[in-house]
Structure 1
């Protein structure tokens, strides 16, 4: 049985349909509860242990209610930020910086370590989509804490996805890339991301639980 109980802030943008994921088949995400982004300050978040924030979110509103984010994390929970952060609402992550490029090859990525949720994913299939380079990621967030674990990076070492476990009592996944949970279908290796990430969530929640009981 899964440990995670996910709430995803719904930005109400054109790339979602009735709370569905933007993936190949646009299948419903039955394991995710969608919450209107403007209800974050009034909703009861106690039953959830993972919050997902994606692109097109109102970051001015998140910044105004950043204490809700910090409180959620300090309860030993996880926040996933698949977006370009331009206001300091997320502990442990710097503000987004676009990738400086001279060639489409500058967007090529590589795993920063083995045994992550990118295992088995062909980096060329992730970098290019329908001939477009940089569809998955086009920039980065500076790592604030040197203890952060870098998961995915450009080939020049610039981080794309990193995990911070020191800024709060919870875990932050800062990712300047597309929503992990939408990479669940398709005909290439990128469909491995969503299930492997879900498995990682379970492991991380168990780690946080064990740490809080010590």
Structure 2
């Protein structure tokens, strides 16, 4: 039985349809509960241990509700952000900085080590979509705590996705790229990201549970 109980803030944007993933087949995400982004201030989150925030979210409102985010984390839970941060509502991460681009290869990426949720994912397939470079990631968030674990980076060393376990009693996954959970289907190696990320969530929740024991 999965450890994760995921709640995802629904921004109500054009890339989401009644809680469906933005992927090739637009399949339902039955393992995720969606709530309207403006409900976070009053919603009962006690049944969930993973909160997911993605692009097109109202960050001005999230900044007003940043205490809710911090409380969730300090209960030993996980917050996953795949948004370009322009307000400091996420502990452990700085504000978004666009990648400096002089040629399309400046968007090339690499996993920081072998044991990540990008394992066996072809970086060329992740970087390009329909011939467009930079579809997956176009910038970064500065790491606040040097103890953070970098997961994905540009080939110049700039971190794209990292894990912070020191800013709060929980775990922050900060990514300046696309939503991990939507990479679940398709015809290439990028479909490995979602299941590997879900498996990592289980492992991390077990670690957090052990740390609280």
Would you say same fold, with TM above 0.5? yes
Distance 1:143 1:30 in 2: 33
Runs (5+) with no aligned partner, structure 2: none
Rounded to whole Å, the distance in 2 between the matches of 1:6 and 1:23 is 18
Offset from partner CA, 1:168-192 (integer Å, 9 cap, x none): 0000000000000000000000000
Aligned partner of 2:180 in structure 1 is 180
CA RMSD of aligned residues (A): 0.3
TM-score between the two structures when normalised by the length of structure 1: 0.99
Map residues 33-48 of structure 1 onto 2, 5 A cutoff: 33-48=33-48
Residue 150 of structure 2 corresponds to residue 131 of structure 1: no
Aligned counterparts of 2:19 and 2:6: Cα–Cα separation in 1: 13
Q: Which residue of 2 aligns with 1:63?
A: 63
1:86 maps to which residue? 86
- Cross-structure match for 1:207: 207
* Structure 1 segments unaligned to the other structure (5+ residues): none
CA–CA separation in structure 2 for the residues paired with 1:59 and 1:183: 23
For residues 12-61 of structure 1, the C-alpha deviation after alignment (integer angstroms, 9 at most, x for no partner) is 00111111110010000000000000000100000000000000000000
Poorly superposed stretches of 4+, deviation over 4 Å: none
SS of the residue 2:71 aligns to:
helix
Q: Tell me how far apart the structure 2 counterparts of residues 145 and 177 of structure 1 sit (CA, whole Å).
A: 20
1:76 matched to which residue of 2? 76
**Alignment-derived partner of residue 2 in structure 1:** 2
Rounded Cα–Cα distance in structure 2 between residues aligned with 1:114 and 1:143: 21
- How many positions carry a matched residue from both structures? 213
CA distance in 1 between partners of 2:119 and 2:64 (Å): 37
- Residue-by-residue CA offset, 1:63-114 (whole Å, 9 max, x unaligned): 0010000000000000000010000000000000000100000000000011
Give the Cα separation in 1 of the matches to 2:165 and 2:82. 17
